[in-house]
Structure 1
Amino acid sequence: MFRFIWTLSVRTRDFLHRYMPSNRLLAAIRTRRGLKWGLPAMLVAAPYILVATICSSLIADGGPGWLHLVVLWGCWNALKFILMGPISVVLLVRARIREAMIRRDQRREARAEDREPLVLA
């Protein structure tokens, strides 16, 4: 039973990661080239919040109960995009620091090679 639940959750996650546009966009933002788009991607949360607001007002006016799922979906995706902005900034700073350290080490190695005396045998 545990194996079945585990397999089902893994396949569900793979399906959602592969075919849902918001998850594909977030995966693209998490790459090194996409980190700079983290803050502008926070604007994508606005349509999700708008959909959730409209559906919740429809529910309050006596709409169908399945709209609760749409509200949950909209709030969840909006939260993902809102959180991705600051997270991408932190990841971008870490990547740039790491790249600067690598460049500094390469410059030191190049200078050290220039200073080494030639050994004649």
Structure 2
Amino acid sequence: MFRLIWALSVRTRYFLRRYMPTNILLDAIRNRRGLRWGVPAMALAIPYLYAASICAQLAENGGPGWLHLLVLLFIWNALKMAWIGPVSVFELLRVRIVKRRENHSRLPEPGSTVRVLVTA
């Protein structure tokens, strides 16, 4: 039974990571080239919160009960979008610090002589 639950959760996670738009966007932002788009992606939280508000109002005014599930989904996506901004800023800073340390370690020490080989 545990093995079945484990396999089902792995397949569900794979499906969600592969085909859901917000997860695709978050995966694109989390790589080195996409880190700079984290802060602008935070603006996507606003439409998600607006959609959640509309669905909540419709559900409160006699709409179908399944709209509450959409409210939860929209709020969850808004939180993911709002969270990626600060995370991407910290990751970008971390990457730049590591890059600076690598470049600094390649420089010769002050006062040392550097020999240049000149060929004719």
TM-score, length of structure 1 as denominator length:
0.89
Q: Deviations over 1:48-95 (max 9, x none)?
A: 111100000001101100001100110000000101100110000000
- Equivalence for 1:106: 106
2:105 and 2:113 map into 1 onto residues whose CA distance is 12
1:2 and 1:18 map into 2 onto residues whose CA distance is 24
**Cα displacement (A) at 1:112:** 6.2
**AA partner of residue 24 (structure 1):** I
Written as runs of structure 1 = structure 2, the 5 A alignment for 1:20-59 is: 20-59=20-59
1:114 and 1:14 map into 2 onto residues whose CA distance is 53
Written as runs of structure 1 = structure 2, the 5 A alignment for 1:1-121 is: 1-108=1-108, 114=114
Residue 108 of structure 2: SS of its match in structure 1? Answer: helix
**Cα displacement (A) at 1:107:** 1.4
The structure whose residues are more often helix, as a share, is 1
Give 4+ residue runs of structure 1 displaced > 4 Å after superposition. none
Q: Which runs of 5+ in 2 are unaligned?
A: 116-120
**AA partner of residue 68 (structure 1):** H
2:94 and 2:108 map into 1 onto residues whose CA distance is 21
Relative to 1, partners in 2 of residues 1:62 and 1:93: Cα closer, same or farther, differing over 3 Å?
same
TM-score, length of structure 2 as denominator length:
0.90
2:38 and 2:67 map into 1 onto residues whose CA distance is 29
**Cα displacement (A) at 1:39:** 0.5
Cα RMSD (Å): 1.6
Provide the identity percentage.
56
Residue 25 of structure 2: SS of its match in structure 1? Answer: helix
2:31 and 2:113 map into 1 onto residues whose CA distance is 34
1:58 and 1:90 map into 2 onto residues whose CA distance is 39
